[in-house]
Structure 1
Amino acid sequence: MPGPHYAISEAFIVLAAIWSTIFLSRTGHRLAALGCAIFGCAAAIGVYRFGAGEISELAGFHKDFSQIGGSIAMALISAQFLLAKPLVNRTAVGRWAIWAAVIVSAMFACAVPTLTTPLFIIWLSVAIIAAALIPASTIAGRLSLAALVSVFLINLLLIRQSPQLGPDLSWHLFHILVALWLLAIVYIFEYRRSDGEAAIQDDIPAVTKCD
C-alpha cells in the first residue's frame, strides 16, 4: 500500500516542472513549457493525494490525469523539437501538420484512454529522433542529446513497477528520473540555442569580399 512518503518524489517533479516551465517560457519554447507544466500538474495531484492521505479516493483521477496528460505533454514537447528543426519551422505545411498531429493525438488520448501509453511511446520516440538531428559540432554531441531524451523510455520500461526494485524504490526512482528528465529537456533546448546554432553557422559557407 502506497504511503505518504510517495509524495516526496512527486514533489521533485513539481519543482523541476515549475523551473522548466518558467525557463522554457522565457526562451520562447512555449509548447515544451506547456508540456512540462502538465507533467507538474500530474505530480502535484500526487503530492496532494499522498500527502493528504486520500490515496484510494484520488487513485483513479491521479492515474487518468497522469496517463492522458502525460501523452499530451509528450506530444507538446516532441512538437517543440520538431518545430525547432529549420526545415519544418520554415514551411507552413510542416507547422500545420505538426499542430494537427498534436491535436488529433490529444483527442484520441482523451477519447480512448487505452491509447495513452502507445501514443506516449510514439511521441517519445519522435522526440528521441528529433534530438538526435539537432545540429551539433560532433556526432557524439547529437547522440548524447538523444540519450538524454531516451532516459524516459528506459525509465518507463525498466524502472517503473520493476519487480526487482520493489514498489517503493521503483516509485521513487522513477519519479526522480522524471524530474531529472524535465531538467534535461531545458538543457537540450539551451544546447540547441548555443552550440547547435553555432554548428549551423559553421555549415554556412563564408563569403569574403575581395578588394
Structure 2
Amino acid sequence: MEIYVQSCGVYPNHDYTWLRNDNKLIKPPVLHSVDRLRQKNAPAVILSRTGEELRLLVFALKSKQRCDFQGREIFNSLVWIAKTAEEPFLRMLAASALRKEDEFLEVIDRSIIDYDNELGFKVLWTQIQELSLTRKAGEQLPDQTKKIGKNSPVLTHKLAEELDKHKLPNQEGAIVVVTGIVDSLTLKQAGVWRSLSSLVEQETWEEFKKEKDLFIGKPLEILRLIYTYLMYCLERIC
C-alpha cells in the first residue's frame, strides 16, 4: 500500500509538500483526476477506483499540535493507494474521516511532527501504517443508485454508516466525494455514486442517473432531440 502525506513546516520557506511513505518527494498520481471534483484548500474525502486499484484521499485535516510561524494552523492531507482487497479498511478510514473520529484524527496528528530538515516536518510512517480500527466493515451489497445531497452533518453521518455496512459499487473513477463548493452538475456528470457538496441545497438524498446514460436504449428520444435542435437552427437562419 502506498501512502502519501502533505504538510508543511513552521517557517516561510517550508511550503506545503507531498511525501510518499518511502520518504520521496512525490505527488500522488491520482490528484489530477479528482481536482475538479473538490474545493481546493478545503476539507474533502474522496474514494475512487481505477482497475484493481482503490484510492482514498482525505484533504485538509486541521492539526491540533502544529502551527506555522504566524500562528496559523497547519493542515494535513493524506492519500492511500491500495489493491481491491483492502477495500474494507479504506471504507472504514473514510467513515472515520467523515465522522471526524478522535482516534483517527489523533493518530494522524501525532504522526506528522515538526522536524529540523528541508521540509520542516517528518512523518512517523509506522504509526500511520499501523492505524487500526476496532469495528469491522460490513459486506452487504451496495445500492447501485447514484445519489447526491448537501454536505451536512446528517447526510455525512448517513454516508459514513453506509460505508460501514456496504461494499463499494464496482465502478471506475470517483465513487464517493464529500467536498465544499462544487456544483451538482459536475458531480452528476462524473457519475459519482455518493456525493455531498455545500453547493447542493437538497437536505436529503437525491437520486440521479449519469447524464450520458440517460438515453441508452432510447433512440427515439435521441432522434427527437436532434430534430428539435435542427428546427431551432433553421428558425434562427430564417
| TM, length-normalised to structure 1 | 0.30
More helix by share: 1
Higher RCO (CA < 8 A, seq sep 6+): 1
More strand by share: 2
Could you say which structure has the larger radius of gyration? Answer: 2
